[in-house]
Structure 1
């Protein structure tokens, strides 16, 4: 199996895991504030990943740390907006709107790294945007704070894809990922100290601690390794559009726990997925 094929299937698997993460993340936010959750999640991920890849990190850190930190700051902003959005609307809404990163990213890649932007990608982007309009029940007045925060989150995730495309290919993968995690952790620590009362009390709940560990090891280390590995070997537009699969698993899981969609929302979601199918 070629690197491109491995990248394709690994990223699809990671995207479905990410989609499935929305609902448990929304649950844990009942017991811990979003800044604390993100800080502990990425702190653990940084420490564990350093242990795993310390040899590569110690060799390549001088060349790579700046680019990893910059993309880490971008990742942090995306997750802050996403996690706060989950406190204001249902997880499936956040998942579908975050999926718009797959449409925004090709345009950012074009401006940042001069990646080719075809008419086909442009048309599919318009189709997905119309799908987003229908997903709002064809009435943007139905968009609440959570939906707008999710769209801002999608922009920052798309920017992360574009910056990864620009910097990853010339840097060591493991070192780049470690400094991404570290950069994110720094932002979350500052945010938690500024906007929340950072404490260890919430993680004394065994269920909360277990979900934080799963978030760090699976949703963070595995999934971001998969995305960065894929961006080493796939065109950024393809990576971005694969990310549109994320809402599928979120919607499926959410439906089992009582989250519902209107007919217009289902039609809008369908158009977004059609844009992916023809990408």
Structure 2
């Protein structure tokens, strides 16, 4: 459900920046939305409490993508510094909330420390700073679509490390989402449109 960012981001972009998605992106949104549903909803297609919390998280992340998109396209903003500030202040806020709402408990084994360091440095620090820098060269909607395939990679990791297997509809959902990403990234028009050879271009220029 966290991948619903792909749907929420273009809606926010439309209302905030007055930018409507093109027909190609609308098709991609539909494919990703159906794929997410097939992969994440339970057998009765009823969302659980965890799903609702994930939807709230997806909305918050979509807001972050749109705000970051507006910020990084300003000349006076350094994208790398912005990413560092975002992580720093988020960590500070979460530390305060953790101290207020919970009793701090340190990891009990070296393995847990190693996992925490890996998750905090690579999966959080490096990943999110790179994302902010990369948003200089694309749109928030595009980033949201890319993040839609997160459940696909999660399913692959779950299979490799935990032996979890998807239901048939889960594989169908993953295929639809990957198809959506392929449609978004590949310019099929240029592939199937015949390009003039240098000789043909010279002939056309001579006729003119």
TM-score normalised to structure 1 length: 0.58
Which structure 1 residue ranges, 4+ long, deviate > 4 Å from structure 2?
none
Q: What's the RMSD between the two structures over aligned residues?
A: 2.1
Equivalent position to 1:122, from 26, 32, 37: 26
2:114 corresponds to: 210
Task: Report what 1:258 is aligned to.
Answer: 163
Matched with 1:106 is: 10
Query: Which residue, out of 161, 167, 172, partners 1:267?
Result: 172
**Counterpart contact for 1:104–1:125, Cα < 8 Å:** no
Contact 1:165 1:236 in 2 (8 A): yes
1:140 aligns with 2:45: yes
Mean CA deviation greater in 226-235 or 146-155: 146-155
Q: Distance in 2 between matches of 1:102 and 1:129?
A: 8
Unaligned runs of 5+ in 1: 1-96
- Number of residue pairs matched by the alignment: 180
What TM-score comes out, normalization by structure 2 length?
Answer: 0.76
Distance (Å, rounded) in 2 between the aligned partners of 1:116 and 1:148: 27
Q: Are the counterparts in 1 of residues 6 and 147 from structure 2 also a CA contact under 8 Å?
A: yes
Q: How does 1:118-267 map to 2 (within 5 A)?
A: 118-135=22-39, 136-137=41-42, 139-141=44-46, 143-170=47-74, 171-199=77-105, 202-256=106-160, 257-267=162-172
How far residue 116 of structure 1 moved from its aligned partner, in angstroms, is 4.0
Partners of 1:104 and 1:278 lie apart in 2 by 19
Counterparts of 1:272 and 1:149, CA distance in 2: 22
Supply the distance in 2 between the matched residues of 1:133 and 1:216 (Cα, whole angstroms). 29
Say if 1:242 and 1:207 are closer, same or farther in 2 by CA, change over 3 A. same
- The 5 Å alignment of 1:46-57 reads none
Distance in 1 (CA, whole Å) between partners of 2:48 and 2:163 is 20
Q: Which runs of 5+ in 2 are unaligned?
A: 185-208
Residue 221 of structure 1: how far off its partner (Å): 1.9
Change (3 A) 1:138 1:268: farther
The superposition leaves residues 207-244 of structure 1 with CA deviations (integer Å, 9 ceiling, x where unpaired) of 12112211222112211121111101112222222222
Distance change (3 Å), C-alpha of 1:138 and 1:278: farther
| Alpha-carbon spacing, 1:195–1:259, altered in 2? closer, same or farther (3 Å) | farther
Deviation at 1:181, TM superposition (A): 1.2
Larger radius of gyration, structure 1 or 2? 2
